[in-house]
Amino acid sequence: MWPLAKYVLENYLPRASSATGQVVVYLIFALAGAGILLGFASAFAGVSSFVERRVAARMMSRVGPNRVGPQGLLQFMADGLKLVLKEDLIPVGANRLLFRIAPYFVFAGMFGTFVALPFSARLVAANLDVGILYILSITALVVVGIILGGWSSNSKWSLFGGLRSAAQIISYEIPAGLAVLVVVLHAGGLSTQRIIEAQGGMPWNWFIFYSPFSLIAFPVYFTAALAEGNRTPFDLPEAESELVAGYSTEYSGFRFVVFFFAEWANLWIMSAIAVLCFFGGWRIPFVSVAATYSTWYLILLGLAIFCFKTLTLVLVVIQLRWTLPRLRVDQMMSMCWKYLIPIAFVCILGTMTWIVFVGQDTMPGTAARFVLFAAGAAIAVRQIVRTWFNYRADRATYTKLTGQPLWYPPYRLP
């Protein structure tokens, strides 16, 4: 926001260029930017909760909520309204101050990352030089909120959930950071815009295909990000059959909305970081960086591309939630410390070796990129072929049994 504020100050408000005037104008712009991001994050949290319910329902051979509003689109508003109107309980014996502020730590931790996400060429609220480092650090704030929430609820189950979640998030910060370090090594800097600019628009110019080590670093990062967001298969602190919702069990009303919001907004964050690090961010194929920075419609196109890639990954996260069972606590910890971290270290060492001996614009480097892209595409094609096989295996017998055709694509909304 600072360059924008400076631009407006110099060209339109020269008389307010004193020190206090600059601060005031900058504050106004910062608040406006934060407001836009908050609106976006809230809208995304609500809509994605609805989309998840519809997608999950179709995977389970159901329909999902489709009554409130056209095709159920207002469902999340009804849920939010209901939660806000609920009675605001504070359990007897709970530490009142800590109970009240715990959700806001989680919220701050989640929302703070939005300011450094580069939505497109000029569309980043705070173009920090240490962007990725800032993002990874600010998400650690949620741990404070979770521990406070679990402890202050004065309930053994909340305590269990809170401590488990804290252990999980702290442990999985490490492989997430290490996997991102692989990307940083290729990009040569921590700034998020720089990481994106170092990639290209075409798929074989994305960081994920730069070397086999970054191809492995992506699943490492993705798994670690799932664990950070308490998503299945790592939702042990939350949806465990032992009780309700872990650290947020005792929360009701608006405070629960804050926890709820933080979880769904985190979907966007984890996917957005994966996209900007590994999948090329807002880079448009065949268009250079300078061109994107200077033309307004290319900025919007970059925004559309970024959002599209992020939403695709969000759908993958949603699908994983409804496919996989959850890990037990000790299995989760052993996965982090015995599997992800050693693999991440190997990836870093391998990347450093690769950069020195192979490089990226040389003949072997480029060849490797195409080969890895082909491998990635082969995995995707295999998935599609197996999906078709699964569908086809059911088709004939279903029609004989019910007399109706089996084909019912997702865009058909009953």
Partner 1 sequence: MSRYFKNISNSVLSILEGMTVTLSWMFRRPYTVQWPDKIEKSIEDTLPERYRGLLEVETSLCIGCMACMKECPIECIAVSIERDAVTKERRITQFDIDASKCMVCGLCVEACPTGGLRHTTQFAAADGDIRNLVLRYIEKGSPVAPHAPKGPAPVVRPRGSIVAAKIKNGFSARSAGQAAEKP
Partner 2 sequence: MTFNELSERLRTKFGDAAAPSAEGAPQAVTVPGPAIEQVARFCKEDPELDLNALSCLAGVDRKDRIELVYHLLSYRKGHELVLKAALDRAKPEIPTVESVWKTANWHERECFDLLGVNFLGHSDLRRILLPDDWVGYPLRKDYVAPTEYHGMSSTRVNPLQQPDAPADGKRSELKDLSQLKSLYGPVAGEMIVNMGPQHPSTHGVLNFLLVTDGEVMHKAVPHIGYLHRGMEKMAESISYPGYMPFTDRLDYLAAMSANQGYAMAVEKLLGCAVPPRGEYLRVLACELNRIASHLVATGSMAMDIGAFTPFLHWLREREYINDIMEELSGSRLTYNYMRIGGVAHDLPEGMADKILRWMDHFEPIIGEFDRLISNNEIFVQRLANVAVVSAEDAVDFGLVGPNLRASAVPWDLRRNMPYSAYADFQFDIPLGQGFRGTAGDCYDRFVVRVLEMRESCRILRQALAKMPAGDIRTKLPKRIKVPPGETYARVEAPRGEMGFYLISDGQETPYRLKVRTGSFTAMSIIEKLSHGVMIADLVAIIGSLDVVAPEVDR
394 interacts with partner 2 by CB under 8 A? yes
- Answer yes or no: are the C-beta atoms of 60 and 322 closer than 8 Å: yes
Angle between helices 2-12 and 19-59 (to 10 degrees): 140
Residue 266 and residue 228 in contact, taking contact as beta carbons nearer than 8 Å: yes
Which amino acid belongs to residue 308?
F
Interface stretch with partner 1, choices 57-65, 165-173, 234-242, 360-368 (CB under 8 A): 57-65
Choice between 156 and 412, CB closer to partner 1 = 412
Question: Does 381 contact partner 1 by CB under 8 A?
Answer: no
Scanning 100-108, 132-140, 245-253, 400-408 for contacts with partner 1 by CB under 8 A, the matching segment is 400-408
Answer yes or no whether residue 397 interacts with partner 1 by CB under 8 A.
no
Instruction: Choose the one of partner 2, partner 1, none that binds residue 174, judging by a C-beta under 5 to 8 angstroms depending on kind.
Output: none
| Residue that is written with structure tokens 């307010």 in the block | 16
What is the closest distance, in whole angstroms, from the C-beta atom of residue 369 to partner 2 in the complex?
A: 31
Contacts of 304 (CB under 8 A, 6+ apart): none
Question: Which residues are CB-neighbours of 286 under 8 A, at least 6 positions away?
Answer: 201, 202
**Half-sphere exposure in the Cβ direction for 352 (13 Å, CA):** 7
For residue 285, the SS3 value is: coil
Which of 239, 289, 311, 355 is the binder for partner 2 (CB under 8 A)?
Answer: 239
Query: In the complex with partner 1, which residue's Cβ is closer, 356 or 379?
Result: 379
Shortest approach of partner 2 to residue 329 CB, angstroms? 6
Alpha helices in 249-295 (DSSP H): 253-278, 289-294
Q: Is 320 in the site for partner 1 (CB under 8 A)?
A: yes
Q: Enter the DSSP assignment of 362.
A: S
Q: Which of 17, 294, 295, 331 binds partner 2 (CB under 8 A)?
A: 331
Q: Phi, psi at residue 261, to the nearest 5°? A: -60, -45
Question: The tokens of 171 are what?
Answer: 């442990």
Q: Are 148 and 248 in contact (CB under 8 A)?
A: no
370 binds partner 1 per the rule CB under 8 A: no
Mask of contacts with partner 2, 57-86, x by CB under 8 A? --xxxx------------------------
Judged by beta carbon, residue 291 or residue 380, the one nearer partner 1 is 380
Question: Do residues 350 and 213 lie in contact, with contact meaning Cβ atoms separated by under 8 Å?
Answer: yes
- Residues lying near partner 2 in the complex (CB under 8 A) are found at 56, 59-62, 156-157, 160, 164, 232-233, 235-236, 239-244, 322-331, 390, 393-394, 397-398, 400-401
- Residues lying near partner 1 in the complex (CB under 8 A) are found at 55, 57-63, 219, 319-320, 322-324, 339, 379, 382-383, 386-391, 394, 398, 404-410, 414
